[in-house]
Amino acid sequence: MLRECGEHGYFRGDACPVCGEPGKFLMSDQELDQLGRTMAGVLRHFPERFGLDMDEQGFVSIREFIAALRESNRRYHWLRPHHIIAIIETDPKGRYQVSNDLMRATYGHSLDLELRLPTDNIPDRLYYPATPEEADIILETGLRPSDRKMVHLSKTYEDAMNAGRVRVESPIILKIDAAAAIRAGNVIAQAGRTVYLAHEIPPEFLTRSDEEHDDLEAP
C-alpha cells in the first residue's frame, strides 16, 4: 500500500523504512496497481483517450489528468495531486518525472517524443535481454527498437534478466560496451534508475554475457 510519513515522506508498505512508523494511509495495493497501469498507458501510449494535451517532451498536466480520470471513472473522486506525486516518488524503477505541475513517463513510449534525457555519467557497460531466437541475429545486425521508439538497456545483468523474464523464461543477456559506443558517436541517455535508452546499438559493441555476475567485473 501507499502511505505518507510526516517526517520522511511517501513510502510503499506497512511502515516507514526510516523510522518504522505506519504513517498516513493514501491508497491500497489494488488502487495503486490500477492507477499505475492507467498512468503508464496514458503517459506512454494514449493521452488522447483522456483528452489530454501532451507536449513534445511527453509532459501532461497532473491536474488535467486527475480531472479526466475522475470524469471517466467516479471511483477516483478522492484523487488529488499529492496521490500522483506519491506514486511517482515511490516508483521503484523511477519511470516517471515531475516538473512543476506536469508529469511524464521517462521510457517505454510508442509515441514520437523529444525526451531530452541526461546523457552524462552513463555506465561503461549496459545489458540487454534477448530471446534465444533473436540473440544471434542481434549480435550480427545490432540492436534496434521494435515496438518501442527506443532501445531499452539495463544497468546490470540482474536488471536485464528480470526484464527479460517478462517475455521468456531463460533470456540470453547481451553485454553492451557503452563507453565505446558513446565514443563512436552513439547517444545513450538515462531514463530511470536502472533503464537507459538508445536509438540503436551497432553490432560491434555487443557480446554475449554468459556470466551471471558479469556486471560485477566492471571497474
CATH of the domain at 96: 1.10.10.970
Show the cell assigned to 79: 484523487
The answer to whether residue 39 sits within a structural domain is yes
| pLDDT attached to residue 217 | 47
Task: Indicate whether 94 and 184 sit together in one domain.
Answer: no
pLDDT at 145: 87
Q: How many domains does the chain have?
A: 2
Q: Which residues pair with 125 in a beta bridge?
A: 177
Q: So what's the pLDDT on residue 211?
A: 62
140 and 174 inside one domain:
yes
Same domain, residue pair 6 and 70: yes
User: Could you tell me the CA-to-CA distances from 122 to 16, 149, 150, 193, 208 in Å, in that order?
Assistant: 31, 20, 16, 12, 20
**How many Cα neighbours within 13 Å face the side chain of 9?**
6
Residues 131 and 207 in one domain: yes
**pLDDT at position 212:** 55
Q: What pTM, to 2 d.p., does this model score?
A: 0.80
Tell me whether residue 116 is in a domain: no
pLDDT of residue 216: 46
DSSP structure class, residue 32: H
Same domain, 9 and 78: yes
Whether residue 11 sits in one domain with residue 89: yes
Phi, psi of 190 (to 5 degrees): -90, 125
Domain enclosing residue 209, as ranges = 125-217
Provide the CA 22 distance to its chain's centre, in angstroms: 28
Phi first, then psi: give them for residue 95, nearest 5 degrees: -80, -10
Tens-digit pLDDT string for the chain (219 aa): 999 999 999 999 999 999 999 999 999 999 999 999 999 999 999 999 999 999 999 999 999 999 999 999 889 999 999 999 999 999 988 899 999 999 999 998 988 888 899 999 999 999 999 999 999 999 999 999 877 789 999 999 999 999 999 888 899 999 999 999 999 999 999 998 899 999 999 999 999 987 655 544 444
Q: Number of C-alpha atoms within 13 angstroms, CB side, residue 205?
A: 24
Same domain? 137 vs 100: no
CATH at 211: 3.20.170.30
One domain, residues 6 and 56: yes
**Which amino acid makes up residue 66?**
I
CA 32 vs. chain centroid, Å, equals: 16
